[in-house]
């Protein structure tokens, strides 16, 4: 098994699916001639041509809406937002259209669409380019929202997203593109809507996803040296949310910390904590802790920005408060 | 144009008008809820243009969509049932007046966010171009929609990609209650198309023949590889923006003046002048439409409500 970057895993998934299904095509800003602003589609323009790798103007509303229309009419578009921050401009296309089309017309339509969007903070891009707004999109029934944490999951879940007949927002944390992991040769799919235990432990359950998952795993390794064995559950999909592995783990550890890069208020941690107390109250031994982004816009200045973001020390501190 | 065709257009226009008059009554009786936007006055636009399309062409429009659905040939019973929120409705009672669709007939709705469906039309046109067919998309919207970003982004992309889409602006003079000269800087709306190098024409929307001819010409240009086309069709809604509109923004005199150009009246006078049918024959068509609508209302009223479990169906294809 080769150790490849998440970027390479995503590129491989896209290329394999483009070869597998003629209806799959890519559209977005700088996906073609430029090769993708994060180089995920480098070489695709030459390999597949301008019909299937379509550069668009800087027009997020129509990128989102036209992708929905093309999906309704039988294609399987992969539309890329240069960053998830720009998906805000297309919010109506994503929420009012991609997510509601099937329901509102009584099941007449299907929208087999993948919206790829890199996101996340920590790169000194300032307040408008550093959001982790995943939870906002996950609020709405009709959309599937996924965000993988490893190259293996990234490849398998992107394939699943392309093959499902429902609209999927596929969020890629930009700081994970360089993360390496083992990825097998050939075709495989990682199903959407299935959480995954990434590390087994008995003392505390850490629930995380995407970049937060990598932070949680690093924290768990440090905690292990101090004799605290954390179980780390990777949500992978925010909607539909698979709580079963979280609850199973919690029934073993009786304690939980939720790690997310988005803001704390109304966040993933709030949802997971509520679900644990609703569905696992009898097992609750301690307050459920949340490690999340501070309640401030992300500033440019490096140290100040880092102080607002999640990190290994914050996760360790949260664990130690309850273990 | 043969006589049967013209009489059928007359029937379609009367069907729209009488259907909506029934809807208005049902709304006032509390049997139709939500918003109800009547198309009365604009019938010649849907009838003239949709009858100019070929079978594999697509149609998509905004929330004032009853006329388009009926001309497309959607089952009147199912359209009326949708108005009443019944399980037998075209959208199973989940869409309502603003969200009629008939995908089998390539009618994609019925969309309630002003301008948004222009982007959907762009995508549908892309799908046809991608697959190498000769189908085009007829995309209808109001004058008010020409101010939103979706309009500009969609026209631009259709031009950049040479998409087979016919942009049809139904200029009924008001974006809700705001007159054209109060809502847009370029009041000659067809000029906006030139900003995207899209050929445009202005058409009398009260003349079903003029609408038909202009649509045929524009669709021929699209199929001839000339890229997207734009029609500004001048029309007027005789009723308010939606039910309950206080109509403070226009005078009775203005409405009366437009009513002299009632598209059904114009067509009726043409039919009589050309001896295509007698007054009695036209009345027989009107009566047949009323009977058809009696049946539709009965069907809708006697249809079951959506089952409670329908709340959770059609959210995803794969759960």
- Chain B residue with the nearest C-alpha to that of A107: B314
Rounded mean pLDDT, B147-157: 98
Nearest residue to B195 via CA among B135, B155, B224, B157: B155
- Look at residue B155 in the predicted model and tell me its pLDDT: 98
Tell whether the model's pLDDT for residue B317 goes beyond 80: yes
Contact between A179 and A125 (Cβ < 8 Å)? no
Asked if residues B119 and A66 have their Cβ atoms less than 8 Å apart, the reply is: yes
The predicted model gives A236-265 an average pLDDT of 98
Decide if A129 is catalytic: yes
pLDDT in tens, A272-292: 999 999 999 999 999 999 999
Note whether residue B130 is domain-resident: yes
Which pLDDT score is estimated for B131? 98
Report residue A153's pLDDT band, with 50, 70 and 90 as the boundaries. very high
Q: Is the pLDDT score of B90 beyond 80?
A: yes
Catalytic residue among A97, A129, A173, A263: A129
Please, are residues B203 and B36 in contact by the beta-carbon 8 Å criterion? no
Least confident of A270-274, B141-145, B240-244: B240-244
Please give the torsion angle defined by the CA atoms of residues A4, A5, A9 and A12, in that order, rounded to the nearest 10 degrees.
-70
Q: Which of the four pLDDT bands, split at 50, 70 and 90, describes residue B54?
A: very high
B244 band by pLDDT with thresholds 50, 70 and 90: confident
Contact A65 B160 (CB under 8 A): no
Contact A104 B91 (CB under 8 A): yes
> Which of B109, B149, B157 minimises the CB distance to A105?
B109
Q: Hey, CA dihedral for B215, B140, B119, B318, is it positive or negative?
A: negative
**CB contact (8 A) between residue B116 and residue A144:** no
- pLDDT category at B1 given cuts 50, 70, 90 is confident
Burial class of residue B74 (count of CB atoms within 10 Å of its CB; 0-12, 13-18, 19+): buried
B38: pLDDT strictly greater than 90 = yes
pLDDT per position as a tens digit, A293-320: 999 999 999 999 999 999 999 999 999 9
Instruction: Please say whether the beta carbons of B157 and B163 come within 8 A.
Output: yes
Average pLDDT over residues B221-239: 97
Q: How many domains does chain B have?
A: 1
A25, A74, A78, A104, best to mutate vs chain B, most B CBs in 10 Å: A104
Q: Cβ–Cβ of B119/A75 closer than 8 Å? A: no
Query: Measured between alpha carbons, how far is A108 from A100 in angstroms, rounded to an integer?
Result: 12
User: In this structure, are residues A310 and A259 in contact, taking their beta carbons and an 8 Å threshold?
Assistant: yes
Please state the rounded mean pLDDT for residues B190-196.
97
**What pLDDT score was predicted for residue B318?**
86
Give me the architecture of the A196-322 domain, per CATH. 3-Layer(aba) Sandwich (3.40)
* Interface residues of chain A, partner chain B, Cβ below 8 Å: 25, 51, 54, 56-57, 59, 61-62, 64-75, 77, 92-93, 96-97, 102-110, 112, 141-142, 144, 164-166, 240
Question: Looking at residue A21, what DSSP letter applies?
Answer: -
Is A62 close to B157, i.e. CB distance below 8 A?
yes
pLDDT at A68: 98
Asked whether A65 and A73 are in contact (CB, 8 A), the reply is no
User: 3-state class of B100 per DSSP?
Assistant: coil
Instruction: Give the CATH number for residue B143.
Output: 3.40.50.970
Q: What does CATH list as the number for A2-183? A: 3.40.50.970
Q: Is residue B310 part of a domain?
A: no
Q: Is the dihedral of CA B155, B157, B162, B164 positive or negative?
A: negative
Confidence at residue B255, expressed as pLDDT on a 0 to 100 scale: 94
- Please indicate, yes or no, if residue B317 is contained in any of the structural domains: no
Please tell me if the domain spanning A2-183 has the same topology as the one spanning A196-322: yes
> What value does the mean pLDDT take over residues B122-137?
98
pLDDT of residue B69: 98
Going by the DSSP 8-state scheme, the letter that residue A146 receives in this structure is E
Domain boundaries, chain A: 2-183, 196-322
Q: Is residue A261 flagged as an active site residue?
A: no
Within 8 A by CB and 6+ apart from A240, the residues are A144, A192, A193, B319
How much is the pLDDT for A44?
Answer: 98
The DSSP letter of residue B30 is: T
DSSP string for residues in B256-298: HHHHTT-HHHHHHHHHHHTTSS-HHHHHHHHHHHHHHHHHHHH
Specify whether the CB–CB gap between A77 and B66 falls below 8 A.
Answer: no
Bridge partners (DSSP) listed for residue B261: none
Alpha-helix residue ranges (DSSP H) falling in B131-207: 149-160, 180-183, 191-194
Number of A–B residue contacts, CB under 8 Å = 141
Dihedral (Cα; B172, B176, B181, B183), 10-degree rounding? -130
CA dist B235 and B71 (Å) reads 18
pLDDT digits (tens, 9 = 90+) for A135-149: 999 999 999 999 999
B103: nearest CA partner in chain A:
A108
Question: How many other C-beta atoms are found inside a 10 Å radius of the C-beta of residue B103?
Answer: 17
| 3-state helix, strand and coil shares in percent for chain B, rounded to the nearest 5 | 50, 10, 40
Contact B299, B81 (CB under 8 A): yes
CB nearest to A142's CB, from B92, B128, B315? B315
In a domain, B74, yes or no: yes
Does any domain span residue B143? yes
State the best of A21, A26, A48, A73 to mutate against chain B, taking most chain B CBs within 10 Å: A73
Angle at B255 between CA B252 and CA B256, to 5 degrees: 85
As a whole number, mean pLDDT of residues A87-115 equals 98
pLDDT in tens, A43-79: 999 999 999 999 999 999 999 999 999 999 999 999 9
Look at residue B319 and tell me whether its pLDDT is greater than 80.
Answer: no
Find which of A67, A102, A103 to mutate to test the B interface (most B CBs within 10 Å of its CB): A103
Candidate from B91, B116, B124 with C-beta closest to A70 = B124
Q: Rounded to whole angstroms, how far apart are CA atoms A29 and B309? A: 41
Q: Which residue of B has its CA nearest to A79?
A: B123
Domain containing residue B221: 3-298
What is the nearest CA distance from B58 to chain A, expressed in angstroms?
A: 10
- DSSP E strands in B36-191: the ranges are 58-61, 107-110, 137-142, 165-171, 174-175, 178-179
Which of B99, B127, B319 is the closest to A73 by Cβ?
A: B127
Over residues B55-89, the pLDDT tens digits come to 999 999 999 999 999 999 999 999 999 999 999 99
pLDDT in tens, A190-239: 999 999 999 999 999 999 999 999 999 999 999 999 999 999 999 999 99
**Bridge pairing between strands A168-173 and A114-119:** parallel
- The reported pLDDT for the residue numbered A1 is 84
């Amino acid at each position: 098994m080769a150790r490849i970057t998440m970027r390479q895993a995503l590129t491989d998934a896209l290329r394999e699916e483009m070869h597998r299904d003629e209806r799959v095509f890519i559209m977005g800003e700088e996906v073609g001639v430029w090769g993708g602003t994060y180089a995920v589609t480098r070489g695709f323009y030459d390999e597949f041509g301008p019909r299937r790798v379509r550069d668009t103007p800087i027009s997020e509303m129509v990128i989102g809406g036209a992708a929905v229309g093309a999906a309704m009419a039988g294609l399987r578009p992969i539309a890329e937002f240069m960053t998830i921050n720009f998906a805000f401009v297309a919010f109506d296309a994503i929420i009012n259209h991609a997510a509601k089309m099937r329901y509102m017309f009584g099941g007449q339509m299907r929208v087999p669409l993948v919206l790829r969007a890199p996101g996340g903070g920590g790169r000194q891009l300032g307040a408008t380019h550093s959001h982790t707004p995943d939870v906002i999109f996950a609020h709405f029934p009709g959309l599937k929202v996924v965000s993988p944490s490893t190259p293996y999951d990234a490849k398998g879940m992107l394939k699943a997203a392309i093959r499902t007949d429902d609209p999927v927002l596929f969020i890629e944390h930009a700081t994970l593109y360089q993360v390496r992991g083992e990825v097998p040769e050939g075709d495989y799919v990682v199903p959407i809507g299935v959480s995954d235990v990434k590390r087994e432990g008995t003392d505390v359950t850490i629930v995380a996803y995407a970049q937060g998952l990598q932070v949680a795993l690093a924290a768990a390794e440090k905690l292990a040296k101090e004799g605290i064995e954390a179980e780390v559950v990777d949500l992978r999909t925010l909607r539909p949310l698979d709580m079963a592995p979280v609850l199973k783990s919690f029934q073993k550890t009786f304690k939980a910390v939720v790690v997310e890069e988005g803001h704390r208020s109304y966040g993933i941690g709030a949802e997971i904590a509520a679900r644990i107390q609703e569905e696992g109250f009898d097992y609750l031994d301690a307050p459920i802790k949340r490690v999340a982004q501070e309640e401030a816009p992300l500033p440019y200045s490096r140290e100040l920005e880092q102080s607002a973001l999640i990190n290994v020390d914050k996760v360790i501190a949260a664990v130690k408060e309850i273990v | 144009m043969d006589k049967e065709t013209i009489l059928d257009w007359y029937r379609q226009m009367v069907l729209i008008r009488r259907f909506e008059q029934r809807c208005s009554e049902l709304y006032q009786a509390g049997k139709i809820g939500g918003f109800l936007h009547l198309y009365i006055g604009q019938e010649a636009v849907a009838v003239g243009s949709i009858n100019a399309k070929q079978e594999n062409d697509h149609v998509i429009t905004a929330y004032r969509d009853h006329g388009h659905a009926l001309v497309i040939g959607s089952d009147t019973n199912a359209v009326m049932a949708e108005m009443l929120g019944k399980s037998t409705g075209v959208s199973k009672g989940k869409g309502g007046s603003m969200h009629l669709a008939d995908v089998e007939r390539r009618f994609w709705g019925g969309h309630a966010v002003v301008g948004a469906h222009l982007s959907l039309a762009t995508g549908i046109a892309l799908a046809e171009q991608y697959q190498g067919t000769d189908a085009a998309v007829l995309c209808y919207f109001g004058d008010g929609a020409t101010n939103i970003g979706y309009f500009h982004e969609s026209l631009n992309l259709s031009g950049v990609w040479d998409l087979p889409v016919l942009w049809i602006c139904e200029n009924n003079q008001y974006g809700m209650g705001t007159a054209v000269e109060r809502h847009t800087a370029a009041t000659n709306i067809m000029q906006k198309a030139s900003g995207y190098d899209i050929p445009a024409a202005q058409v009398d929307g009260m003349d079903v023949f003029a609408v038909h001819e202009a649509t045929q010409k524009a669709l021929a240009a699209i199929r001839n590889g000339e890229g997207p086309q734009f029609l500004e069709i001048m029309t007027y809604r005789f009723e308010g923006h939606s039910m309950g509109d206080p109509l403070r923004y226009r005078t009775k005199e203005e409405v009366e003046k437009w009513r002299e150009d009632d598209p059904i009246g114009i067509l009726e006078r043409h039919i009589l002048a050309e001896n295509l049918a007698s007054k009695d024959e036209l009345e027989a068509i009107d009566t047949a439409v009323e009977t058809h609508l009696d049946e539709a209302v009965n069907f809708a009223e006697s249809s079951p409500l959506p089952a409670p479990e329908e709340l959770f169906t059609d959210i995803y294809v794969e759960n």
